[in-house]
Structures are given as structure tokens and as C-alpha cells.
Amino acid sequence: MKYLLLALTIFVLQKSHAQTSTTDRHCDSIMRKIIDSTVKAKVDSIEAKKKKADKKEDKNVLDWLSNSGFSIRKGFSPSSKDDANPASAFWYKNFITNFSYTTVDVGAKYKGYEFGKRKSSFLIFPKMEWHKNEDTTSKSKNTCNTLTGGINIEYYYSVTPRFTPFIAGIADYKDDYIKKLETIDLSAYVSIFCIPSFLPGSLRVRDPKSDGLIFRYYPYTGIEYYRSTGASAQSTSFWASRLSVELNPLPKYLQFVFDYTYRVKISDNLYKQGDVFWLLVGVNHYFDAKHRLGIGLDYSEGSDPNNSFVRTNKIDLCFKLKV
């Protein structure tokens, strides 16, 4: 009888242990399902928020243009790193006197294609520019209406991690509708991009509170060649030296730009101008921290490269756009 009770006890314990193991396995399975479900829910929530944010950005035309690789500026000469000047436009019309005035300076480019290795890179991108400045009463030679299309090519070679010289090349076709002049414009410049503060191209001079860029500049030097199309083609070539400066005393809203180019004549039987200069000084106030929409005042003087190097001296108050 004693051995029978002992055997019965062992059987009951084994049965209980088997049930406990089955229960534990069942609980583990349930817990794994709960954890998997929780993780999946979190992942789905994060992805849903991301999709919602992306969808919200797509509703903004300027964000869509930027995310798609398009840029809008006043122009793209000579380097994509030096795109401080926003596009500008202004239109005025008096319906009583029928007087109207239009000024447009806008360029658009696509992000292009970049190839490169560890120490060097090669960038090529297409662009188009439209420059117009005319009114209904003025028939002066300062009237401008040109359309330009072409490509920019840039080659960077890193001498050290802190200093990168680069070459910027431009090949454009320009149609001057006022002067009935079509030209092929070719140019090549050299400059340098540096990391240390206050050297050319440095992005380190920033506001400690907003991290906005305060100061940046680029020097350029190179050769420009302009040739008219047609049977009686003529050409002009310059050695050009340029300084471009961007100052943002209030990085979120206020911007000053300075652009000066001096061109020394190498040969000139197309424009017949000799040595020429071009000065542009502007102040822009932006309505948003991304520097996209604003209003600005531009002063320009000298031989306008966008108007066949015609002598110009003017002030423009315009709406500004930068993408």
C-alpha cells in the first residue's frame, strides 16, 4: 500500500509538472504575441507619422520644389556654392496713363548629377535664366529682355580636409530679344572652399542661438568668352575677377549681399566696351526663417553681363523668392 501511494504521488507530480510546462509555454506564446503586436503598433505609428509629415510637406509648393532638387535664385554664375541672391520680380501698371514697368531676374536649376571619389568630385547641372527690365515709355538702351539656357560644371579637389580648391565652368546659349543678338557664352573660374572660420567659403561664422549663417564670401578669377552666332560671328573675351559676399546680421530675416566683378579686356570686337565692371549691392528682408519669401532693395551699376554689357545704373525694389 505504501508503494502504491508513492507511485500515485509521483504520477500526480509528473502530471502537474507537464501541465505547468504547457501553461508556461502557452503564456510565453501569448507574451510574444503581445510584444510583437506592441512593437508592430509602434512601428506603424512612427511610419504613419512620417507619411503624414511627408504628405504635409508636399502641400507646400516651395518645399516640393526643394525636395525634388530644384533651386530658384537670381542667377547661377559661377558656382552652386555661391547662391546667396534670391530671384526678384516686380510689375507695375497705371491704367489711366497706360504706363507699365516690369523687372524680372530669375534663374532655375535642377540639382544635377555628381560623380566623385574620396578626394575629388565632379558636378554638372542644367539651368535657365530670364532677365527683363523695361517699361512702356523708355526706349533707352538700358531696356533688357534676355533668356539663357545652359549647363554649369564644377570640379572639386580636396588638397587637405580643410581646403578644397575648385573649378567652375559655364556653357550658355543666350538670346537677347531687345538687341536681336544670340550668343554662346563660355567661362571658367577658379576659387577655394575652406573649413576654418573667416576663410573663403567657410560656413562656421554662425549665430550661437539660431545656428544661422552670419558671414560668407567667395573670390573668383578666370576667363570669359562670348561669341555671336550667325555668318558674321564676332567675339569678346575678358579676364574676370569677382568677389561675392553674404552678410546676415539677423540670420533668420535680414540679409546683405555684395557682388563685384572687374573684367579686363583680352579681345573685343563684339561688345566694344574695353575694361568693364559690374557692382550689385542688395538688402533683403525675409518673412520666414528659411529665407524663401521676402522683399528687397537692389542697387546695380556698371556694364550689365545680362544685358550685353550695356552701361547701367539703377535701383530696384522687388519681391524676393529663394528655393
Concatenate the DSSP letters of all residues of 159-202 into one string: SBTTEEEEEEEEEEEEEETTTTEEEEEEEEEEEEEE-STTSTT-
Task: From residue 159, give the alpha-carbon distance in Å to each of 75, 79, 211, 313.
Answer: 29, 19, 28, 41
How many alpha carbons fall within 13 Å on the CB side of residue 200?
A: 16
Task: From residue 67, give the alpha-carbon distance in Å to each of 64, 71, 106, 110.
Answer: 5, 10, 19, 11
Q: Kind and range of the H or E element at 48?
A: helix 2-58
- Statement: residue 5 has pLDDT above 70: no
Q: Which pLDDT tens digit goes with each residue over 142-173?
A: 688 899 999 999 999 988 888 999 999 999 99
Closest CA to 169 of 74, 79, 82: 79
CB count within 10 Å of CB 297 equals: 14
Quickly state the pLDDT bin for 15 (edges 50, 70, 90).
very low
Q: Which pLDDT tens digit goes with each residue over 178-208?
A: 889 999 999 999 999 898 989 998 888 888 8
CATH number of 67-321: 2.40.160
Comparing 57 with 262, the larger pLDDT belongs to 262
Q: Which pLDDT tens digit goes with each residue over 24-50?
A: 444 445 444 444 454 445 545 555 555
Quickly state the pLDDT bin for 16 (edges 50, 70, 90).
very low
Ranges of beta strands (E only) in the chain are 70-73, 87-94, 99-110, 113-116, 120-135, 144-157, 163-176, 181-194, 215-228, 235-250, 254-268, 276-286, 293-304, 310-321
Quickly state the pLDDT bin for 323 (edges 50, 70, 90).
confident
- Statement: residue 248 has pLDDT above 50: yes
* Average pLDDT of the chain to the nearest whole number: 81
* pTM of full prediction above 0.75: yes
pLDDT value at residue 136: 66
Distance in angstroms between the alpha carbons of the first and the last residue of the chain = 95
Long-range contacts of 59-62 (CB under 8 A, 24+ apart): 62/292, 62/293, 62/323
Q: Which pLDDT tens digit goes with each residue over 63-115?
A: 888 888 888 888 877 666 666 788 888 877 767 767 777 888 898 888 888 88
